[in-house]
Structure 1
Amino acid sequence: MLFKASGLYYELDRYDKYLATTTKIQQLAIESRDTAHLAKSLYFIGDYYERELQIDSAFKYYSKAERLYKKIDDALNSGRTILYKAGILYDAGIFTESEMLTAQALEFLNTTENERLVYEGYNLMALNLKELNDYKNSLRYFNLALKKLDLLEQKKYNPTKLIKSRASIYNNMGGLYEKAGSYNEAIKLYERGLASERIKESHPRLYAMLLNHLASALLKKGGNDEKIEALLLESLEIRKDHKIEEGIVSSKISIGEFYLQKKQTCKGIEYIRQGYELAKKINSSYDSKNALKLLSENDGTDKGPYDSLYMKITDSLYTLERNTRNKFARIAYETNQVEKKNAFLSRRNRNITVGAACIILILGTSFIIYRLRSKNKELLFIKKQKESNEKIYQLILGQRSETDRVRLEERNRIAMELHDGIVNRIFTTRFNLMLLQSEQSNRKEELVQELIAAETEIRKVSHDLQHNLLFEDDSFQKTLTTLVAAQQNEFSTVFDLSIDKYIDWSLVSSEKKIHVYRIIQEAIQNINKYARAKKAEIILLKTGNKITLRILDDGIGFNLDKARNGIGLKNIRQRTHVLKGECTIDSKNEHGTRLEIVFQGTGPNGNRIASDSEGL
């Protein structure tokens, strides 16, 4: 009776009464040790907190209910609670963990006859895989979800709910194709969703979403501008009429993007500003971030403040995501701990078994700690060895630089001796010979010409002694060539190295060479691991008094926001900072990656690289 009462309170939007009644059921179930009713009450309380958007509390109560349902072997409700937990993680943007929970839920639900929950599981799995860029498997699960809807239709399931579910699937599949760049397929699916029976009247929120997405796909494909504008404005009006605030934000930003693309910058910026203000009002961080990004890229008057706000909200979203992920992990852990404690108390009379378990646990923990310490020592040893190798390499380069310096000084000294000593003496002899009276005038002329030739040859040798040294320091170039030539990976990436011949590496300090080498090494390692590239280029150019390093690949790219705090990128930026250079990284999914670093090409004494147009 109490469960029926709580259900009526929920349908009447009396949520305070609903929570009070369900909490009372929970207490009665605890007192009577009724596991089934206790699990159901916890599940109902989870529903309340999910509706109130208190997702951490909802996740906690679903976890408690899940544990109890598993204890009594209730596959249907175990699958249901796990699926709802997966939905919470998806909404929080934690897609990998959501995918794993959805798979667990489907294992339970596929053993039941509840086709509706299986459909929801397939749909959620497809959405997770879409966000994880696994397009092939995402499409497979969307098709499985459609088959479940066909089965539900045969079983005379609620027609209104079926219409909404089909339209939702078409919308989600359209989003998949749009993300994959198949705009024609996306357009067909959005139009199919819009053609659903009475979708506009019965589900205006979904209808407006389909309109907005159809306009987006047409815009990317290059469709009729008037049609796109009409679709966007119609979607906005529907959302305004039904006071769908998050939808209004999305429409404002979409319309703004449309006008920006059509070079109506002022109009576009105005719509995006309106969207941003409303996003702030409803605390939509994701939409605020998108709006700020567009404003910082297109609003020349206020670019600085928007850039600052965009960076601030990006950092806050990253922190929020990390904290949310940690919060859910902590809830799951604490729920497990409570269950373990209860199990321990229920078996307190079995002291021998518990004691043995504790001993095994202690030994296992000790072994793990021992292994972790050994691993830490190994890592520290590897780190120290790496540092020692760098120092040795730096010393070798330093010694080589010193040798080159001494050799340069000696060559310059010899050149000066040739030029200032021998050439002057030959010149004096030739001049005196010309003044000397001689009857053999022909022989005298031959001797003069021979001295002129010797003088020219010595000047040439003196000049070449200084000139040729500029191109002798090729040891660092050979080191880079060896590094690049040794690269192989499972994607058969072709690596190409190009080094400007006018870079004088003898004027670049050993420390800078090491950092350049390590940056290239780190970038190549990332390409080998993640890029799946067919071709990668490493280019070193002399640009004025600076050296430009470019590393490009045609791989799958990566999300800069998610990878910003990765160890590899941190190392590259730190080394660039030591070089006192500037680092630019440009990467998009499926469009490759471009890394460019520009730094001053000077030696330890600050000497600039000589230009190829200067005299020696």
Structure 2
Amino acid sequence: MANIQQINGDYYGSKETLTEALPFAKIDQNYKAAINNLFGIADKELSIYDDAIFYYNEAIKEANNQVAKQSPLNNIAVIYIKKKNYDEAIKILESILKTKALDNFVKSKARVIDNLGFAYFKKGSNEKGLQLMNESLEIRTKSDDFYGSIESYLHLAEFYSKTNIKKSNEFAQKAYQTSTKLNSVDERLKALSFLISNDAGIQFGQKYIAINDSIISIRNNYKNKFAKIKYDSKKEKDENQKLRLQRAENLVALKDAEKERAIFIAAFVIFLLLLVYFKKQYDNRNRIKNIKTAYDTETRIAKDIHDGLANDVFHAITYTQTQPLANENSKENLLQKLDDIYSRVRGISRENSDIDTGPNYSNNLKEMLSTYNSPQTNVIINGVEKVNWDSVEHLKKVAIQRVLNELMVNMKKHSEANVASIKFNSDSNSLFIDYSDTGKGCEKSKIIKNGLQNMEIRILAVKGTITFDTEPNKGFKVKITMPK
């Protein structure tokens, strides 16, 4: 930006921009030489020669090779020419030409030769000065250095201004034409100033005034425009920085919100898991409690029934005292009463006695089922020994025996079956029991009325399933499945 400002003649503005550039030179030292060199050019154009020489020397100190030092050295020599210290200028320029590295930079070498020739000319060595300026112009022409050739034309125009006005005007005209093509305003004005001094025509004076007025107006407008661009750029940069900070703050806030949300979700999931765990524990406790309560209730009911049998026994005894037992009918009635009492006591005993769920469980289960075998009903038991009863939970074994006992009681009381079959099977995870009889069956809607609902409650309590399949005169089937 500072270089662009100098091209447009805004040297004070250029120095301000260069001041802004200085902090960046601390990051990369390679820019410091260029910054100091531009400081020197600005002060040279503003005729602040001592400051310009200071900055050029600073640029030389920062230069990292011999070639990089040549530009500020050449600029110092130009200032010495302006200060009429020609010997010092010649000394510097000749030392530059001795640098072999400069041979690879034709345009730079031509500039140094031209300045050296101009210094000799200003010192009074016209012949040597002319020779060097012509040599420089020839190099510039061959290398198509059109901008550099303007300086050669201007130096030669000044050289001939005292001795050959015609040639001076020719070189001034070439300088004017080339600078016009390149839109180099300052060089156009210099060329016009030679033509005016040489009385080349009034039209050149008019052109000079028009161009000079125009360039003053343009440069003033440019300064204002550039200042506005810098202001707008700084404003936009500040706003962008503000937006970046806002985005960063929003991002931090978003991350915090996401973190809080993640913590909340994690806490909620843990809460749900704990809720499920405690509910399961609660359900298990309730299930066990309900089963035990059911068993306790059944024992209490059985006890009440057992106590009620005392009346039946009393009635039987009374019957023997009041009825002639020699009579066959009386004798049959008594035997029937005693048989009923015996059956009831036996059933109560079975239903309410403690169930051994240890190693003898399968034998006890089979024995219990076998007691329902009679001349009227053949009870078939299959697979009870094949089940690994040690892998079945205690409460489930109790439930199985209770349910099967109820099934057998139901069969004995209602089915009038000739055959009752109980088949046991299992796999690694589940136990299967299939019951069937050849009894008279019943309608499914009457199952609850027959008291079989208690079986379903028992099986469901241990997380099993029980299904009933029956129709009138088609027997009765029950399928039980439960996890071990």
TM-score (norm 2): 0.48
Bigger Cα Rg: 2
TM-score (norm 1): 0.38
